[in-house]
Amino acid sequence: MKNWWKSGTPWIWLTGGAVTISMIMVFGLILLILVRGFGTFWPHAIVETSYSLPGKESERVVGVLRRSESLAAGVIREAGIPLPEGQVVVTRHLIKAGNRDVTGRDFQYFLDDFLGEWHYPREMVMLERREWGDFFGMPLRLLEQGQVVVDGEGLWPEFQQRLKRSNSLFDEIRRIERGAIGNINFAMERVRLDRRRAELRGTLNAAVEADLQARMERLNADYAVLEQRLNSLYAEARRDSIVLRAASGQEITVRLADIVNAWQPNNMSIPAKLGTYVVNFFDFIFGYPREANTEGGIFPAIFGTVTMVLVMSIIVTPFGVLAAIYLREYARQGPLLKAIRISVYNLAGVPSIVFGVFGLGFFIYFLGGGIDRMFYPEALPAPTFGTPGLFWASLTLALLTLPVVIVSTEEGLARIPSTIRQGSLALGATKGETLWKVVVPLATPAMMTGLILAIARAAGEVAPLMLVGVVKLAPTLPIDSNFPFIHLERKIMHLGFHIYDVGFQSPHAEAAEQLVYATALILVLLIVMLNLTAITIRNRLREKYKSDSD
Amino acid sequence: MSVNTPDSHLGAGSLLPDAEQRQKLRKRRAMRDGLSRYGVGSSGIGVIVALTLIFVYLFYETLPMLAPVSMEQGQAYTVPTGETDGYSLHLTLDRYQEIGARFTSRGQIMFFDALSGERRETLQIPVPEGAEVTAFARSESRRSLFAYGFSDGSVLPLKVEYPQHFVDGQRHINPRLSFPLGEQPIRIGTDAGEPLVSLAIVEGRGGYIVAGGTVSGKIAMAMFTTTTNMMTGQVQVRRQDFSLPTLDAPVGQILLNDSLRNLFAIDRDGLLHSFDIVDRSNPSVIESIRLVAEGEMVTAAELLVGSRSLIIGGSDGSIRQWFLVRDEGGNTQRMTMIREFRAHQGAVTHIEPEYLRKGFLTGDSLGEVALHYATSSVTLKHLQLDEQAINRMAIGPADSLALVEAEGAGQIQVVEIRNPHPQTSISGLWGKVWYEGRDAPEYIWQSSSADDSFEAKLSLVPLSIGTLKAALFAMLLATPLAIMGAIYTAYFMSTPMRKIVKPSIELMEALPTVILGFLAGIWLAPYVENNLPILITGAVLFPLAILLSGLLWTRAPERIRNSVNAGWEAAMLVPVVLLTGWIVVSSSPWIEVAFFDGSMRQWLTDVGIPYDQRNALIVGLAMGFAVIPTIFSIAEDAVFNVPKHLTQGSLALGATPWQTVMGVVLLTASPGIFSAIMIGFGRAVGETMIVLMASGNSPIVNFNIFEGMRTLAANIAVELPETAVGSTHFRVLFLSALVLLFFTFILNTAAELVRQRLRKRYASL
């Protein structure tokens, strides 16, 4: 024992333990995100039970078990709930009871000790609604224009048929509102700007005015047609409704137009649940957010993240690569260059928020303000580029990731054996030809690695984006069918910011929690994928040029 | 490779390019080479310049805070006089600083062009028959509320308005008077007829209060509440009279604050009598204190914007700031001298507060004007004018123009002021400051409030302390884990395992911090709050369990021990750690019951340790997690690259592996490990999202692990989008970004230099 202690072996075990703990933390974290994220889409069974606190009336509870946890009994006693003497641990269940509009609170903790027996009634329905969150209840009858159509037997198939109809109507409404009406609004705004521009230039005469007027009238006429169509669609969609009995015993009527999806999870087989799972997953990826982002999908956030990262790549790649080539191939090596190189590398360690501050001050207020005064005077005082937006977000991130690309490219250039260079020069090629035809192609994988690492970093960065262009809800996507198709000045949504915003700024934090886990999952998957790609490419590259240049 | 392609262009005659073609080709190639050289060069330099621009720009944005305050004499013109002469009671400027107004002792208000002195309209107030103006009162400048007091004891409150209209895009302002309590002068107090020598008026939430003092020391006060009839638009005035105790000496000046709680009367002996007028039926004297040295007099007194601070100018030239401070018992508020400003040579004759800031101008009997700022307790600038006693001054709402009227000379001097950021002195940003309404000098960050007369508290100390606190707790977790892990991974771990472990931990670095912050705030914080004992048990049990399993391993049968190669300890520990983790978690409630009366959270509160759910501990855990890979990766490289012959030599001489680690490996790699810690620290300092989400973001100054903090980075993220561009707050935020930039940059550069030297040393070993 004494010898064992003296030899220092315990320390080896302790250092080994540090590795183990770190690894368990990493994998535990990823596991947590995976389980919670993927669990979001599973149609969980609906529980029906009763809850009777001592001295209070028993109440019926219907909902989905979110999680259970054990607590010291003292914590519960402090809340004024009497527990038997001597009890140390209490188990409590967080149950999502939905029906926010009826009961006012959709998540509630229930102590295991006071819960009755758990049933899983097969008929129990869960409705995913467009407003007010989910609804749990027992279906009673189906109404058409207020008249009972089906009652009891055969209700569910008929309901699903009618839900399909109302959903397709709703899709068409959405299409008109987002697409056609959005385009008309865009065109109207353009007419307004054209008039203002003509005014500013002093070219506003009768002919121009008449032209503008005609355009406006055409748009108004188009709008009137669409509006009529919309109204009739809305009337159609409002036809059916369903009556359900909520946990409290109340009968609640829900319009089919307000329902996105409906399940009887207790009545579903495993394959059916899997099917629903896949549908839910796709709805999440390709859907639009609802209810202040706490429900629905995250498509605009994914789209915004990807667009921003792409624009950033277009900016950062050429500049990063050129700067690296300059530093490695053309600049005169010496103490000054060494200092510059260290500085550039160190910028990678500068807090990202500093880049955000720079982006806001220099890009947006200074450059953007200047661009607005020169090119968009007609829109002033409403800023076009003088306000946070896609382009500035991309540019800021490009600056932030520039060191990553430079470092990686330089590393790649350094790894190319000097013999290859000398061979090319000896054959009579100029320096430029050697560079562009021999060295740079060989270093392409390194550049790719740098770019992928830059993308991975950019996709996960949130702090600077909060200052330079990301918003909680963007009304339009940055790319659409209106000229010039890519709207660099538009504000975007972003996965990382979505997590922050929904997790911490939303009114229904608990309801949104699952959605945030799912969003985090998507983001983690995206980033892990990008990083693994980069690591693979780098390793392959290192194998390929494992040479005397090291 | 494609150099030979021009061959295809050759004519039929020869297979080789002729001289001219070769010449052309050579030229083109040279041109391309040059293009490449200069193209790459210019964009390379461009990128470097762009990156330098970050420094330059941040510095450029903070620079205006350092710009010196200037006060320059502009034009001077004769005081605009009307048909009936009289001396000036007050001067003001309108909000565009275009029109000056002079209130004369004959009840005339003369408007004039502020820059040229050209006369504009003159308005006359109704002076009661046979009475003269004996007193004048002004409310805070921004309210534009004044009152004339007459020899018959009556008072006429009035407001000056500057309605504007546009003709052909040109702004025209036609000043006019309005009388909030009616055009008829009002009698205040019960004794009619005694002339008022001093007067005060204030507009508060409850209405107007007017107070007047007489030579005999009497103070009369009345409160007026106005209600506007919805139907007719008629204004109804209700009044309520109060009587205050009589003073021993003639009343020199009365001041009222707009909370309608206090009345300050300064008598001719230099005593300040502070009255509590909350209980309107029974106003009482709280205290009477001497404001200036014995034998001296108070020659000027004015309330700063927000009417909390009293600036007192004495006949000895002293300028002091006083405000009410809660006394020891916490029951009564006592007038306390807060700070003293640079004294004038002559007696202070006039004090003019700024519109929306805590600055003020003072003038003395020898013609010197000085500009002070209360919060940063500095005298920013002084300017000697003609040696004439200064009578009245006005300062514009933009704080950039002042009018100074000297007594006797009959001239108004225009003074141009440039003073955009008076608050940002070194002591204002980094020192303890006694803010209005606080009990003592403190470090506070509170940049904005709903009230526009609010004193911005811009101390960077709470933010810096918060930043250090967060980074420190993160390092406390990360450093031991990462360094120990690095030593093991680089030196003891078997190669196949290292190939998995190293990339996994490095992958952690790419994990977006927003996810870590979210998990810390939403999952970890409530969990830890409910299971606090896991902190203690975890810190004790994990090392214990690891050591115990190490010890047991030596006792294990030879056969089992030989079947596992050295370097797999970490893998063997996985079940141990998992089991220990389970024990730690599930024992938590039992420990709470056994040692902490059932709830450790409550126990902490009872012991007197405040606990926030989102606190430094949570931030430390989450940020530690984020910093581990950074430190691990660099430290591991440093340890791994220690030349093998050194360690082999040590082992050959009979040292145990651990002795080799301590004596040789760590000694050689220590600079690398040191630079790893520095880079990790730099990352922890600048991390934004984790702190934003996992701490309460309250800017407090302490190192309690169970309370939150606000860091520089999180503060920028929270406040920058909402501040006004170019304001002091905006620039202070830029300054904090600059501080962050410099701090991390220096830290990283130092670390990089250390590493480079280390690399050189390894190469030479």
Query: Average pLDDT for residues B409-430, to the nearest whole number?
Result: 85
- Give me the architecture of the B127-290 domain, per CATH: 7 Propeller (2.130)
pLDDT at residue A470 tops 70: yes
- Which residue is closest to B685 within chain A, CA to CA? A351
- Which residue is closest to B684 within chain A, CA to CA? A351
**Chain B interface includes A456 (CB < 8 A):** yes
In total, chain B counts a number of residues equal to 765
Residue to test with chain B: of A350, A399, A440, A529, most B Cβ within 10 A:
A350
More confident site: A480 or A362 = A362
Contacts of A528 in chain B (CB under 8 A): 507, 510
pLDDT of residue B12: 53
Evaluate the omega torsion of the peptide bond into residue A484 and state whether it is cis, within 30 degrees of 0.
Answer: yes
pLDDT of residue B506: 80
pLDDT of residue A250: 86
Q: Distance between CA B183 and CA A409 in Å, rounded?
A: 81
| C-alpha dihedral (A197, A202, A205, A209), degrees to nearest 10 | 20
List own/partner pairs for A113-116 with CB under 8 A and 24 or more apart: A113/A83, A113/A87, A114/A51, A114/A52, A114/A53, A114/A54, A115/A49, A115/A50, A115/A51, A115/A61, A116/A49, A116/A50, A116/A51, A116/A52, A116/A58
pLDDT band at B13 (very low <50, low <70, confident <90, very high): low
Angle of the A440-460 helix axis to the B495-510 helix axis, nearest 10: 60
Using CB atoms, pick whichever of A7, A326, A463 lies closest to residue B41.
A326
pLDDT at residue B118 tops 80: yes
Question: pLDDT tens digits, residue range B515-570?
Answer: 999 999 988 998 898 888 898 899 999 999 999 998 888 888 888 888 887 788 88
| Residue (of B289, B281, B242) closest to B265 by Cα position | B289
pLDDT at residue B433 tops 80: yes
pLDDT at residue A499 tops 50: yes
* Contact between B693 and A500 using a beta-carbon 8 Å cutoff: yes
Contacts of A29 in chain B (CB under 8 A): 511, 516, 519, 625
Q: How far is B567 from chain A (nearest CA, A)?
A: 9
Q: For B142, how many CA atoms within 13 A lie in the half-sphere containing its CB?
A: 18
**Chain B interface includes A509 (CB < 8 A):** yes
Contacts of B501 in chain A (CB under 8 A): 19, 23
Task: Please list the helix, strand and coil fractions of chain A in percent, rounded to the nearest 5, in that order.
Answer: 60, 15, 25
pLDDT band at B736 (very low <50, low <70, confident <90, very high): very high
Using CB atoms, pick whichever of B589, B662, B741 lies closest to residue A88.
B589
pLDDT of residue B178: 87
Q: How far is A432 from chain B (nearest CA, A)?
A: 5
Rounded alpha-carbon distances, angstroms, from residue A450 to A405, A496, B217, B282: 4, 22, 83, 78
Q: Could you tell me what percent of chain A has a pLDDT over 90?
A: 26
Evaluate the omega torsion of the peptide bond into residue A381 and state whether it is cis, within 30 degrees of 0.
Answer: yes
Residues 6+ apart with CB under 8 A from A141: A148, A149, A150, A151, A152, A155, A242, A243
Q: How far is B423 from chain A (nearest CA, A)?
A: 22
Structure tokens of B565?
Answer: 């190669």
Rounded alpha-carbon distances, angstroms, from residue A421 to A424, A427, A429, A430, A443: 5, 10, 10, 11, 12
pLDDT at residue A218 tops 50: yes
**Average pLDDT across chain B, whole number:** 86
CATH H-level, domain B461-527+614-764: superfamily: MetI-like (1.10.3720.10)
**Chain B interface includes A21 (CB < 8 A):** yes
Residue to test with chain B: of A13, A81, A404, A498, most B Cβ within 10 A:
A13
**Chain B interface includes A32 (CB < 8 A):** yes
pLDDT at residue B580 tops 90: yes
* Contact between A496 and B512 using a beta-carbon 8 Å cutoff: yes
More confident site: A88 or A26 = A26
Question: pLDDT tens digits, residue range A305-353?
Answer: 989 998 999 999 999 999 999 998 888 888 888 888 888 888 888 899 9
* Contact between A349 and B748 using a beta-carbon 8 Å cutoff: yes
Q: Which DSSP string corresponds to B382-434?
A: EEE-SSS-EEEEEE-TTSSEEEEEETTT-EEEEEEEE-S-TT--HHHHHS-B-
Q: What is the ipTM of this complex?
A: 0.89
Please say whether the beta carbons of B331 and B312 come within 8 A: no
Query: Average pLDDT for residues B119-130, to the nearest whole number?
Result: 85
Question: pLDDT tens digits, residue range B251-276?
Answer: 888 898 888 888 888 888 888 888 88
**Chain B interface includes A531 (CB < 8 A):** yes
Please say whether the beta carbons of A160 and A305 come within 8 A: no
Cβ neighbour number for residue B143 with a 10 Å cutoff: 14
Rounded alpha-carbon distances, angstroms, from residue B107 to A215, B102, B642: 62, 10, 91
Question: pLDDT tens digits, residue range B434-448?
Answer: 888 888 888 988 887
CATH of B303-444 given 3.30.70.260, 3.30.300.30, 2.130.10.10, 3.30.70.520: 2.130.10.10
pLDDT at residue B387 tops 50: yes
pLDDT at residue B1 tops 60: no
| Residue (of A24, A26, A17, A9) closest to B485 by Cα position | A17
Using CB atoms, pick whichever of A89, A322, A325 lies closest to residue B589.
A89
pLDDT at residue B349 tops 80: yes
Residues 6+ apart with CB under 8 A from A194: A212, A378
pLDDT at residue B2 tops 50: no
* Contact between A88 and B590 using a beta-carbon 8 Å cutoff: yes
Using CB atoms, pick whichever of A14, A15, A344 lies closest to residue B51.
A344
Cβ neighbour number for residue A139 with a 10 Å cutoff: 21
Rounded alpha-carbon distances, angstroms, from residue B211 to B260, B263, B282, B299, B313: 12, 9, 15, 20, 22
pLDDT of residue A520: 92
pLDDT of residue B294: 82
Please check whether the two domains, B127-290 and B461-527+614-764, share a CATH topology: no
pLDDT at residue B410 tops 50: yes
pTM, two decimals, is 0.88
- Which residue is closest to B500 within chain A, CA to CA? A23
Structural domain spans, chain B: 127-290, 303-444, 461-527+614-764, 533-595
Question: pLDDT tens digits, residue range B283-330?
Answer: 788 888 888 888 888 888 999 888 888 999 988 899 999 988 887 777
- Which residue is closest to B751 within chain A, CA to CA? A346
Lowest mean pLDDT among A378-387, A406-415, B743-752: A378-387
pLDDT of residue B5: 47
Contacts of B734 in chain A (CB under 8 A): 357, 361
pLDDT of residue A545: 61
**Average pLDDT across chain A, whole number:** 87
pLDDT at residue B10 tops 50: no
Q: Could you tell me what percent of chain B has a pLDDT over 70?
A: 96
Q: Which letter, b or e, does each residue of B289-326 get, where b requires 16 or more Cβ atoms within 10 Å of its Cβ?
A: eebbeeebbbbbbbbbbbbbbbbbbbbbbbbbbbbbbe
pLDDT band at B83 (very low <50, low <70, confident <90, very high): low
pLDDT of residue B478: 93
Contacts of B515 in chain A (CB under 8 A): 33, 460, 496, 499, 520, 523-524
pLDDT at residue A548 tops 70: no
pLDDT at residue B147 tops 70: yes
Please say whether the beta carbons of B68 and B85 come within 8 A: no
CA angle B598, B602, B608 (to 5 degrees): 135
* Contact between A322 and B546 using a beta-carbon 8 Å cutoff: no
Size of interface A-B (CB pairs under 8 A): 354
Please say whether the beta carbons of B415 and B74 come within 8 A: yes
- Work out whether the CA dihedral A248, A253, A255, A256 comes out positive or negative: positive
Using CB atoms, pick whichever of A4, A16, A358 lies closest to residue B488.
A16
pLDDT at residue B4 tops 70: no
| Residue (of A84, A106, A92, A80) closest to A51 by Cα position | A92
Lowest mean pLDDT among A9-23, A385-399, B112-126: B112-126
pLDDT of residue B731: 92
More confident site: B188 or B357 = B357
Query: Average pLDDT for residues B501-505, to the nearest whole number?
Result: 86
Q: Would you put residue B207 in left (φ > 0), alpha (ψ -120 to 50) or beta?
A: left
| Residue (of A199, A327, A474, A24) closest to B580 by Cα position | A24
Please say whether the beta carbons of B321 and B310 come within 8 A: yes
pLDDT of residue A387: 86
pLDDT of residue A260: 87
pLDDT at residue A398 tops 80: yes
Q: How far is B58 from chain A (nearest CA, A)?
A: 7
Q: What are phi and psi of B633, to 5 degrees?
A: -60, -45
pLDDT band at B281 (very low <50, low <70, confident <90, very high): confident
pLDDT of residue A549: 43
List own/partner pairs for A475-478 with CB under 8 A and 24 or more apart: A476/A182, A477/A300, A477/A303, A477/A304, A478/A303, A478/A304, A478/A307, A478/A390
Contacts of A414 in chain B (CB under 8 A): none
Please say whether the beta carbons of B223 and B201 come within 8 A: no
pLDDT of residue B450: 67
pLDDT at residue B484 tops 90: yes
pLDDT of residue A69: 83
Contacts of A359 in chain B (CB under 8 A): none
Kindly state the greatest CA–CA separation across chain A.
103
* Contact between B518 and A456 using a beta-carbon 8 Å cutoff: no
More confident site: A72 or A455 = A455
pLDDT of residue B219: 85
